[in-house]
A and B are shown apart, each in its own frame.
Chain A
Amino acid sequence: EADIYQTPRYLVIGTGKKITLECSQTMGHDKMYWYQQDPGMELHLIHYSYGVNSTEKGDLSSESTVSRIRTEHFPLTLESARPSHTSQYLCASSDSPTGNTIYFGEGSWLTVV
C-alpha cells in the first residue's frame, strides 16, 4: 500500500481565509500531483511537480499555488478561499519513469462558506 498522506481530510472555512492543504509521501517519489474533483465529476490535474523546486500548472486553471521544497512534501495553498473553491483535492505521487502508475492520498474535502 502506498504511503501518501493528506491533511486535513475535511475542512470548512469562511470566505477570504487562507488555507494550506498538506500532502506528504514517504516513498521518495519524485513526481507529485494535485487533482481537483467536484462531486460526481471527473478528476482534473491542477498542479504537478517533477522534483524539488519544480512546479507546473496542470490542465485546469486554479487560483491555488503549490511549493516543492522537499521531495516528500507538496503543499497546496489558497490565499483567499471562495465558495467556488469548494471541492475535493487529491494529492498523488508516482515513481515510474513515465508517471503511469499514480498513488493517491485519501483526499481533502474543502468547503468554503
Chain B
Amino acid sequence: EDKVVQSPLSLVVHEGDTVTLNCSYEVTNFRSLLWYKQEKKAPTFLFMLTSSGIEKKSGRLSSILDKKELFSILNITATQTGDSAVYLCAAPVSYYGGSQGNLIFGKGTKLSVKP
C-alpha cells in the first residue's frame, strides 16, 4: 500500500531557529514528491522534487530528495512567526491501474514558531 509518513507531527521553535521536517514514502512507480504549506485555508504549493540530491530553494526554504533512502527533508532557516503552519508532503499515485496520478498526503508537520 502506498504511503507517505511525516515526522515530527508537531514542532515548536523560536524565531531564528532552523528546522528540518522529514518525509518518508513508499510509492509504487514513484515519480515525484511535493511539499505544501497549509495555514488556515488550503495548501499552497512549495516544491516538487523529482531527482535525487538536487536541492530546491526558495528564500529561507529548501528541500532535497533521496530516492535511494526514500525520503525528503524540508529545511527552514531563520524561522519567523509567519512560518507557523502545517507542512504537508505528498506523492502522486496511480489509482485503479491508471497512468494518471492523484496525490496522497502525509499527516503533516505542525510547526509553531514562537516570537
Residues of A within 8 A of B (CB): 31, 33, 40-45, 48, 50, 56, 58-59, 90, 92, 97-107
Residue numbers in A under 8 Å from B103 (CB-CB): 43, 45, 99, 102
Contacts of B45 in A (CB 8 A): 101-103
Tell me which of B43, B101, B108, B110 contacts A104 (CB under 8 A): B43
CA distance A33 to B43 in the complex (A): 14
Residue in contact with A90 in the complex, picked from B42, B48, B92, CB distance below 8 Å: B42
Min CB gap A16→B, angstroms? 28
CA of A104 to CA of B48 in the docked complex: distance in angstroms? 15
Q: How many B residues, CB 8 Å from partner?
A: 25
Given contacts A101-B48, A106-B41, contact A42 B108 (CB under 8 A): yes
Which chain B positions have C-beta within 8 A of A107? 41-42
Give the distance to chain B from A48, nearest Cβ to Cβ, in Å.
6
- A50 and B100 in contact (CB under 8 A), knowing A43-B88, A43-B105, A98-B92? yes
Contact pattern, B 89-115, Cβ under 8 Å of A = 1, otherwise 0: 010100110011111111110100000
Q: How many residue-residue contacts, CB under 8 A, span A and B?
A: 62
Sorted from nearest, which 6 A-B pairs have the closest CB atoms? A104-B42, A43-B105, A42-B107, A106-B41, A107-B42, A99-B101
Structural contact, A59 and B104, CB atoms closer than 8 A: yes
Given A42-B108, A105-B42, A106-B41, also A98-B101 (CB < 8 A): yes
Say yes or no for B34: interface residue by CB 8 A criterion. yes
Residue pair A100, B106 in contact (C-beta under 8 Å): no
Q: Which residues 61-111 of B have a CB within 8 angstroms of A?
A: 88, 90, 92, 95-96, 99-108, 110
B7 within 8 A of partner (CB):
no
Chain A residue, CB-CB nearest to B88 = A43
Could you list 6 examples of A-B contacts with CB < 8 Å? A43-B105, A45-B103, A90-B42, A99-B92, A99-B100, A101-B48
B106 touches A104 (CB 8 A): no
B14 to A: closest C-beta gap in Å: 23
Q: How far is the CA of A98 from the CA of B96 in the complex (A)?
A: 15
Q: Is the CB of B100 within 8 A of A31?
A: yes
| Residue of chain A at shortest CB distance from B103 | A102
